[in-house]
């Protein structure tokens, strides 16, 4: 029971007791007044009648007639004339019948009817005693009317008092409501400042102290966010152009190749501005600044959408990753860039004829490695530089790859879904107390029985609009597994396509409703890239998951400024981040400390991924990291094992 209700109940109880006491006192006083009034009336009647009977003490018939006349003309229960010897001379009476008053009231209220006496005498001779007892009917009616009036008055006063006290209490305790909301927000790692400062000194001190604490925590959080942003700028940004540098480019390319999503296939291009050193020597660095600014502006505007990532390797070479892009799309993008760059050079007489632009492009696949892809792109660039005519060269990969048409791909995927040939595997995330959860991966068993990783088929699954079907398949199989295995916890990845489909969103809501008993053992993961591209949708999705009592995490967290801003909005239960973001680089300890401060203040678990050996795990543990995922920690195994 809330404090407000407790105080309201106490006030109401005291009010009821007070009103009941006052009602009882008033009722008793009224009752005593009516009883005295009855006695007074009876006494007056007895005295008056005794005087009237005095002349006829010898005539009993006359006295009886006069008594009957008085009895019939009044409202009496009985009149008795008693002689000096104690014998009744005459008596007239009736059994009291109370009308106009509820029976329960008559039964509960004992109204004693007092009898009044007067001596009947003729001179000095006393003839007897006259006893008059009034009828209680009118008194009961009067008492009942008085009782009703008192009850109505007190109930009205009580109701008004309760309502008034309710609003007064609400006003007085509104500060406590705000304090409670602020306390709950702090418990949920939200930083809310209570701007309504109460006037009550005690409450004012509490609110002021909590505001100071909240502002202090918020300032620490903001300071650590700024530290990480500066770290990102220094470590992953090229100082000349503001584009990402080679280190970030390599990390991101490796992430795309291993993503087992649509991004696991794509294109990579390296662009070289030949003669740039000669131009710098002739016109100087300051005069080259507009050129670099223009190149960076163009790449940010035209080569950074749909997950594309432009980067600057050095003052001569630029590069771009184009995940999920086809050969035609990448050729078009690079062709437009080369054309624009040649026009930019030709328009500046200072560098025209000194600088030329060449580009090499290659495809990457899910089964490639980063070094191999960059080597192919470098080779294509070398070929482009040797061309007498043309500025762009593509590396022609002669590796033996499966070539299927869209219809064949569609039939293969739909058949695999129908025959349950999509195989789920899992890899455990280790914590100090055991397995935190097992992350689910999906693989395809082809018609020859070979297991194909997701990077092999996911690009075509998305291209053929079958991603939602596969996501539902994985979710249904996972819930079936959890229902049959009570000791497992699974983490299921949600794809970008599934997030953006309203029908899938409704289907997912029903899935959560029907599996609320699994909320402690089923968690969901959204990639950092998906969150950055669909922040509002992911916010709704996260609200749905948390509202149902489930948990979720962010996969492949990149520590970019945008990712850090989204972190406080989403408040995931955990984030997964590649270990090379955490250790090894210059000032990595500073960045890690800042990230740990942020995650701890928001109640987020920090999971290091790609931990491939025990030495790496030991190094991470020495940095106070407690959760790990990678082949050095746990192998990927079939889900049913």
Contact 377, 360 (CB under 8 A): yes
Beta strands 551-555 and 451-452, pairing class: unpaired
In a domain, 140, yes or no: yes
DSSP string, 186-205: HHTT---------SSHHHHH
CATH number at residue 25: 3.30.110.200
* Of the candidate ranges 8-22, 242-256, 425-439, 540-554, the one whose mean pLDDT is the lowest: 8-22
Is pLDDT of 562 > 90? no
Q: Look up the domain containing 66 and give its range.
A: 3-159
In a domain, 365, yes or no: yes
In a domain, 224, yes or no: no
Q: Any idea what the CATH number is for the domain that residue 415 is in?
A: 3.20.20.450
Q: What is the pLDDT of residues 568-584, one digit of tens each?
A: 888 899 999 988 888 86
Percentage of the chain exceeding pLDDT 90: 28
- Statement to judge: residues 81 and 154 lie in one domain: yes
The predicted structure's pLDDT at residue 590: 80
pLDDT at 585: 65
How far apart CA 504 and CA 493 sit, in angstroms, is: 14
Residue 440 lies in a domain: yes
Show the tokens assigned to 294.
């223009």
Distance of CA 256 to the CA centre of its chain: 32
Residues 336 and 458 in one domain: no
Is residue 9 predicted with pLDDT exceeding 80?
A: yes
403 falls in which pLDDT band (50, 70, 90)?
A: low
Q: Are residues 337 and 436 in the same domain?
A: no
Number of domains in the chain: 3
- CATH number, domain of 272, equals 3.30.70.270
How far apart are the C-alpha atoms of 205 and 450, rounded to whole Å?
69
What's the helix, strand, coil split of the chain in %, to 5? 55, 20, 25
Check residues 639 and 137 and name the one with the higher pLDDT. 639
- Cβ–Cβ < 8 Å for 563, 557: yes
Give pLDDT, residue 399.
55
Copy the structure tokens of residue 411.
């039939």
Provide the pairing of β-strand 605-609 with 627-628: parallel
pLDDT for 586: 63
For residue 410, being part of any structural domain is answered with: yes
Tokens read off for 170: 């609400």
What's the pLDDT at 485? 86
Q: Which residue(s) pair with 270 in the sheet?
A: 319, 360
Q: How confident is the model at residue 344 (pLDDT cuts 50, 70, 90)?
A: very high
**341: phi then psi, degrees, rounded to nearest 5:** -65, -40
For residues 361 and 101, give the distance between their C-alpha atoms in angstroms, rounded to a whole number: 105
| Residue 197 in domain | no
- C-alpha to C-alpha distance for 408 and 411, rounded to whole angstroms: 5
Alpha carbon separation from 54 to 48, 92, 119, 125 (Å, rounded): 10, 19, 9, 10
Query: Which of 355, 370, 394 finishes a domain?
Result: 394
Distance CA 525, CA 553 (A): 5
pLDDT band at 426 (very low <50, low <70, confident <90, very high): very high
Determine whether 598 is exposed, middle or buried from the number of CB atoms within 10 Å of its CB (0-12, 13-18, 19+).
buried
496 and 584 inside one domain = yes
φ, ψ for residue 129, nearest 5 deg: -125, 130
Q: What DSSP assignment string belongs to 437-477?
A: EEEEEEEEE-TTS-EE-HHHHHHHHHHTT-HHHHHHHHHHH
Per-residue confidence (pLDDT) for residue 189, from 0 to 100: 67
- Please report how many Cα atoms fall inside a 13 Å half-sphere around the Cα of residue 229, on the Cβ side: 11
**Longest Cα pair distance anywhere in the chain, in angstroms?**
163
**Domain check: are 288 and 339 in the same one?**
yes
**Per residue in 146-200, pLDDT tens?**
888 888 888 888 889 888 888 888 877 777 777 778 777 777 667 778 887 877 7
Q: Does residue 69 or residue 475 have the better pLDDT?
A: 475
Give the tens place of pLDDT for each residue, 68-78. Answer: 888 777 777 78
Q: What is the pLDDT, as a whole number, of residue 465?
A: 85
């Amino acid at each position: 029971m809330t404090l407000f209700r407790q105080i309201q109940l106490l006030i109401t109880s005291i009010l009821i007791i007070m009103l009941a006491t006052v009602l009882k006192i008033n009722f008793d006083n009224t009752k005593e007044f009516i009883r005295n009034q009855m006695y007074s009336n009876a006494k007056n009647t007895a005295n008056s009648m005794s005087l009237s009977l005095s002349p006829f003490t010898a005539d009993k018939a006359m006295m009886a007639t006069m008594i009957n006349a008085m009895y019939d003309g009044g409202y009496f229960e009985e009149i008795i004339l008693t002689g000096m010897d104690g014998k009744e001379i005459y008596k007239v009476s009736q059994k009291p019948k109370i009308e106009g008053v509820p029976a329960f009231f008559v039964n509960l209220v004992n109204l004693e009817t007092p009898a009044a006496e007067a001596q009947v005498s003729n001179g000095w001779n006393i003839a007897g005693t006259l006893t008059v007892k009034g009828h209680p009917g009118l008194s009961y009616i009067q008492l009942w009317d008085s009782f009703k009036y008192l009850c109505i008055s007190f109930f009205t006063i009580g109701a008004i008092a309760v309502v008034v006290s309710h609003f007064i209490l609400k006003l007085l305790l509104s500060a406590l409501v705000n304090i409670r909301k602020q306390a709950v927000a702090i418990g949920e790692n939200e930083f809310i400042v209570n701007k309504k400062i109460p006037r009550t000194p005690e409450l004012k001190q509490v609110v002021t102290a909590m505001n100071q604490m909240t502002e202090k925590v918020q300032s620490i959080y903001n300071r650590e966010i700024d530290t990480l942003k500066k770290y990102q700028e220094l470590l992953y940004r090229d100082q000349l152009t503001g584009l990402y540098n080679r280190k970030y480019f390599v990390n991101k390319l490796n992430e795309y190749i291993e993503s087992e999503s649509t991004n696991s296939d794509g294109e990579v291009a390296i662009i070289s501005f030949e003669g740039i050193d000669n131009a710098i020597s002739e016109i100087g660095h300051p005069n080259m600044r507009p050129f670099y600014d223009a190149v960076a502006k163009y790449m940010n505007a035209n080569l950074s959408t749909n997950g594309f990532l432009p980067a600057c390797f050095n003052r001569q070479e630029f590069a771009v990753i184009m995940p999920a892009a086809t050969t035609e799309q990448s050729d078009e993008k690079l062709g437009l860039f080369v054309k624009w760059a040649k026009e930019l050079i030709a328009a500046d007489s200072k560098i025209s004829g000194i600088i030329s632009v060449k580009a090499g492009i290659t495809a990457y696949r899910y089964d490639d490695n980063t070094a191999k892809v960059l080597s192919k792109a470098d080779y294509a660039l070398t070929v482009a530089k040797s061309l007498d005519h043309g500025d762009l060269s593509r590396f022609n990969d002669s590796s033996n790859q499966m070539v299927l048409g869209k219809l064949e791909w569609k039939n293969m995927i739909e058949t695999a879904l129908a025959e349950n040939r999509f195989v789920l595997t899992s890899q455990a995330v280790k914590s100090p107390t055991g397995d935190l959860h097992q992350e689910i991966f999906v693989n395809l068993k082809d018609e020859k029985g070979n297991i194909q990783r997701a990077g092999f088929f996911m690009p075509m699954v998305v291209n053929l609009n079958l991603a939602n079907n596969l996501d539902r398949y994985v979710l249904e199989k996972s819930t079936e597994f959890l229902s049959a295995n009570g000791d497992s916890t699974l983490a299921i990845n949600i794809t970008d396509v599934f997030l953006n489909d309203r029908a899938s969103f409704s289907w997912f809501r029903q899935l959560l409703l029907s599996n609320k008993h699994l909320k402690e053992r089923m968690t969901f993961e959204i990639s950092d890239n998906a969150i950055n591209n669909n922040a509002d949708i992911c916010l709704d999705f996260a609200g749905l998951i948390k509202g149902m009592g489930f948990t979720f995490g962010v996969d492949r967290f990149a520590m970019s400024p945008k990712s850090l801003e989204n972190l406080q909005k989403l408040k995931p239960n955990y984030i997964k981040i590649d270990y090379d973001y955490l250790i090894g680089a210059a000032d990595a300890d500073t960045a890690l400390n800042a990230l740990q401060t942020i995650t701890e203040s928001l109640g987020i678990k920090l999971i290091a991924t790609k931990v491939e050996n025990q030495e790496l795990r030991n190094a991470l543990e020495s940095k106070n990291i407690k959760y790990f995922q990678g082949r050095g920690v746990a192998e990927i195994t079939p889900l049913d094992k």
